[in-house]
Amino acid sequence: MPLVTVAQLLAAAESGRYAVGAFNCNNMEIVQAIIEAAEAEKAPVIVQASQGAIKYAGLEYIVALTRVAAEKATIPVALHLDHGTSFEQCVQCIWSGFTSVMLDGSKHSLAENIALTNRVLAVARAVGVSVEAELGKISGTEDDIFVHEREAFFTDPAEAKEFVAATGVDALAVAIGTAHGQYKGRPELDFDRLAAIRELVGIPIVLHGSSGVPDEDIRRAVEIGVRKVNIDTNLREAFVAGVKEVLAQNPQEIDPRKVLGPAKQKMSAVIREKIRLFGSAGKA
């Protein structure tokens, strides 16, 4: 079926009290792994691409690959820009066929983040594209932030309320203790903060940096109101583990299909597990 918006998927997730998986892609095998897994689980799904992924694969390729995969699929698929940092990047994705964009204005002041998000919203609303914003700073695990400093970057619930009232975004990414990349220890999520934000904003919450977050914490976050869960690192790990496995067994292999095919299967298995964990299996 044609691509749908993230707002549509999250509205259904809101009434069903589950979360939709948002998986990062940057090549054909990853797009296929995402759609095949979602199709097997009869789950709605979000394919997302970062600015780095767009630079690597090319904007038109990302759109064309995802569009073809979605049109062949029987489940609803949305195509989302992950961590767009400029108005221009968001608009370029909107014109190219993305059905949702994230404007990550987290490095700006609250007032600047609101202003930038509103500029993107004005364009997105005119063409029915949904918008995710970020408040607080979601760090990278490599950022070596001391634990006592961490909370300085967390989303402030009162600011979140002000932000959502001033913008009307479809979904809000929050900083509550998750980080992008592989965790060194067990991440400590601030569930009280998550609950306070959710209570005050009443819109779908997005959890970034979700690879490596224990299953029980993901379940708890979804119970509180997380409706979109972003996964990238776990797919990278599965892909590369698959490639390494084939080449360890047969170092002479020269057929890319025999190297990447099993890697795709490994990613697909991870995505299926995540979809079940998020509660979106069978919801398409």
Q: Mark whether 82 is an active-site residue.
A: yes
Taking the least distance from each CB to ligand G3H, the nearer of 16 and 187 is 187
- Residue ranges in 174-203 that form contacts with ligand 13P under rule CB under 6 A: 180-181
Strands (E) across 128-274 are located at 130-135, 171-174, 205-207, 226-231
What CA–CA distance (Å, rounded) separates 45 from 281? 10
Q: Which two tokens stand for residue 90?
A: 């968001």
209 near ligand 13P (CB under 6 A): yes
Residue whose pair of structure tokens reads 């990414």 in the numeric block: 173
Taking the least distance from each CB to ligand G3H, the nearer of 176 and 281 is 176
Residue whose pair of structure tokens reads 């689980």 in the numeric block: 41
* Active-site position among 82, 104, 156, 170: 82
104 near ligand G3H (CB under 6 A): no
The closest of 194, 201, 239, 170 to 32, measured between CA atoms, is 239
What CA–CA distance (Å, rounded) separates 61 from 82? 16
Binding mask 110-149 for Zn ion (x = CB under 5 A): ----------------------------------------
Smallest gap, in angstroms, from Cβ of residue 230 to Zn ion? 5
What CA–CA distance (Å, rounded) separates 250 from 268? 22
- Virtual torsion, Cα 119, 13, 267, 59, nearest 10 deg: -20
Binding mask 12-31 for ligand G3H (x = CB under 6 A): ------------x-------
230 near ligand 13P (CB under 6 A): yes
Contact between 79 and 53 (Cβ < 8 Å)? no
The closest of 2, 45, 43 to 230, measured between CA atoms, is 45
Residue whose pair of structure tokens reads 């970057």 in the numeric block: 153
Contact residue for ligand G3H among 17, 52, 128, 257 (CB under 6 A): 52
Smallest gap, in angstroms, from Cβ of residue 52 to ligand G3H? 4
Q: Which two tokens stand for residue 115?
A: 């202003």
Smallest gap, in angstroms, from Cβ of residue 237 to ligand 13P? 10
Smallest gap, in angstroms, from Cβ of residue 53 to ligand G3H? 5
Conformation bin of residue 225: beta by default, left when phi > 0, alpha when psi is -120 to 50: left
Number of residues forming the site for ligand G3H (CB under 6 A): 8
Q: Hey, which residues are catalytic here?
A: 82
Binding stretches for ligand 13P (CB under 6 A) = 24, 82-83, 180-181, 208-211, 230-233
**Using CB under 5 A as the criterion, which residues of the chain lie in contact with Zn ion when the complex forms?**
208
By the criterion CB under 6 A, which residues form the site for ligand G3H? 24, 50, 52-53, 82-83, 180, 232
